[in-house]
Amino acid sequence: MKETLSLGRIAGIRVGLHWSVLVIVVLVTFTLADGRFPAAYPGHAAWAYWALALLTAVVFLASLLVHELAHAVVARRNGVQVDGITLWMLGGAARLHSETPTPAAELRIAGVGPLTSLLAGGLFTGLAVWLDALRVSGLVVEAIAWLAAINIVLAVFNALPAAPLDGGRLLRAYLWHRSGDRLRATRGASAAGRALGWLMVLAGFAAVLFAGNLSGMWFALIGWFLITAATAEARQAELSGVLHGIPVRRVMTPDPVTVPATMTLERFLSEAPFDRYRHSAFPVLAADGDMTDVIGLVTAGHIARVPPEARATTAIGDVMHPLSEIETVAPDDTVVDLLPRLEAGKERRALVLDDGRLVGIVTLTDIGRAVTWLTGAKRPRS
C-alpha cells in the first residue's frame, strides 16, 4: 500500500496516509454527525455535531496510528527493521523490512497491536466516566464513549485467528512453533483468513437481502478485503519459499549502463544505448565520476515529463531521483528481504551497491524472471 501524503517520521519511523483514508474520515464523520450524535443528544446546532464528529474521526485515525506504531516499535526491538507505516481505508499497515526471525518474535510483534487497542479503549472508557462525573457536556462524553467502544471492537476483531489480522499472525506463530515450518504455518493462517472473509461476505449480503440493512455492504467489503489479503499473503509465502536463500547478485542485471548527471536530456535520448539495455531506468553518476559516485536514478517517466523544447537545456541531474529516495541493496542480501521493499517503493527497482560501488540493478521483473525459471526447473515432468 503506497502512501499518498507523508506525515514525516515518528520515533524514526516514516508515517504516511493513503488517499483512501478519506473514505473512513467521511464515513465516521457522517455516521456520527448525521446519526448517533443527534439521536443521543438532540437540540444542538448542526455545526457542533459536524465539528465534533470530524474531531472524533481524526482521533480515531490517531488511535489506528498508535496501534501500528506499537507493532513497529516491538518489531524493531526484536531485530526487524521497519520501513514505514501507511494508514488507509481499512486501518493501517506497518511495512516490515524482513520476516520475523522466530515464532516468539512473531507472537510479540502481533500481540502488541490488539493489546494497544484494548488499552486505548480502557483509557477512553475511564475518561468518559470521569468527564460524565464532572457534568461535562453529554455530547462530548458520547464522542469519547464511541472512541472507547470502537477501539475495543478493533482489538477484538484484530485478535480473530485469521490472516492478515493480528490474530492471524498469532495463529501463524503458534503453527510455526508447533511444526517448525514457516511456510506451512502461513498457509494455515491464510486459509483461516479466507474462511473468515467468505463468512463475512455471506453475512453482509444476507443482512442486505433479508433484513434490508445496507451496513451489511460495509461488512461484506471488509470480508472481501480479508479474502484478497489472505490470498496475497499465501502467494507471498509461496514466493518466499521459492526464493529462499537466493542472493540479489543471482537475479540482478550486472554492470548497468550509467549516465552522467551533467548530460542534457536531448543528448541522452540521442546517444543512450537502448538497443543493449533492457531496463527503462539508468543510474546517474556525478560528473566524470566512476561507479562509486552514483548519486541517483533517472527513468523514462522523468524525461517524458519535460517538454521537448526544454530538453536541450535540462540536465539529467535536474530530473533524477536522488540516491536517498532509491532503494539500495548489497549483492549478498537475500531477494526475499528485498522483495517487500521493492513492492512498496516508488520506482519498483533497487540499485545494487558493493561497498558503495555500483555493481547492478534489480527490478520486480528480474525477480519474476528468476521465479519463473526456478519453478519451471523444480516442476516434475509428466
Tell me, yes or no, whether 259 and 374 share the same domain: yes
In a domain, 361, yes or no: yes
Tell me, yes or no, whether 34 and 142 share the same domain: yes
Tell me, yes or no, whether 137 and 20 share the same domain: yes
CA torsion 224-227-233-234 (nearest 10°) is -160
Asked if pLDDT for residue 75 goes beyond 60, the answer is yes
Contact 66, 116 (CB under 8 A): yes
Q: Give the pLDDT of residue 378.
A: 55
Asked if pLDDT for residue 84 goes beyond 50, the answer is yes
Under the banding of pLDDT at 50, 70 and 90, the label for residue 134 is very high
In a domain, 102, yes or no: yes
Asked if pLDDT for residue 149 goes beyond 90, the answer is yes
In a domain, 79, yes or no: yes
Q: Give the pLDDT of residue 89.
A: 67
Domain count, the chain: 2
In a domain, 265, yes or no: yes
Percent of the chain with pLDDT over 70: 92
In a domain, 86, yes or no: yes
- Scan for cell 511456510, then name that residue: 183
Spacing of C-alpha 99 from chain mean position: 14
- In this prediction the pTM is 0.75
Task: Report, as residue numbers or ranges, the catalytic residues.
Answer: 68
pLDDT tens by residue, 316-325: 999 998 988 8
In a domain, 174, yes or no: no
Q: Last residue of a domain, which of 133, 159, 185? A: 159
In a domain, 177, yes or no: no
Asked if pLDDT for residue 90 goes beyond 90, the answer is no
Tell me, yes or no, whether 147 and 18 share the same domain: yes
Asked if pLDDT for residue 303 goes beyond 90, the answer is no
Strands (E), the chain: 5-10, 13-17, 82-88, 91-96, 253-254, 259-260, 281-285, 294-299, 321-322, 327-329, 349-354, 357-363
Asked if pLDDT for residue 380 goes beyond 60, the answer is no
Tell me, yes or no, whether 147 and 24 share the same domain: yes
Under the banding of pLDDT at 50, 70 and 90, the label for residue 290 is low
Q: Give the pLDDT of residue 225.
A: 85
Any idea what the CATH number is for the domain that residue 371 is in?
Answer: 3.10.580.10
Under the banding of pLDDT at 50, 70 and 90, the label for residue 2 is low
In a domain, 235, yes or no: no
Tell me, yes or no, whether 149 and 279 share the same domain: no
**Residue-number span of the structural domain to which 126 is assigned:** 5-159
DSSP notation for 7-55: EEEETTEEEEE-TTHHHHHHHHHHHIIIIIHHHHSTTS-HHHHHHHHHH
pLDDT tens by residue, 247-256: 999 999 888 8
Give CA separation, 57 vs 24, 28, 32, 181, in Å. Answer: 8, 6, 9, 41
Q: Last residue of a domain, which of 129, 159, 189? A: 159
Tell me, yes or no, whether 135 and 279 share the same domain: no
Q: Give the pLDDT of residue 226.
A: 87
Tell me, yes or no, whether 12 and 154 share the same domain: yes
Q: Last residue of a domain, which of 103, 132, 159? A: 159
pLDDT tens by residue, 182-228: 888 988 999 999 999 999 999 999 988 888 877 788 888 888 988 98
DSSP notation for 245-269: T-BGGGTSEES---EETTSBHHHHH
Q: Which of 32-41, 149-158, 363-372 has the lowest mean pLDDT?
A: 363-372
Under the banding of pLDDT at 50, 70 and 90, the label for residue 278 is low
Q: Give the pLDDT of residue 382.
A: 46
pLDDT tens by residue, 306-359: 999 999 999 999 999 898 888 899 999 988 888 877 876 777 889 999 988 899
Give CA separation, 122 vs 37, 158, 175, in Å. Answer: 21, 16, 31
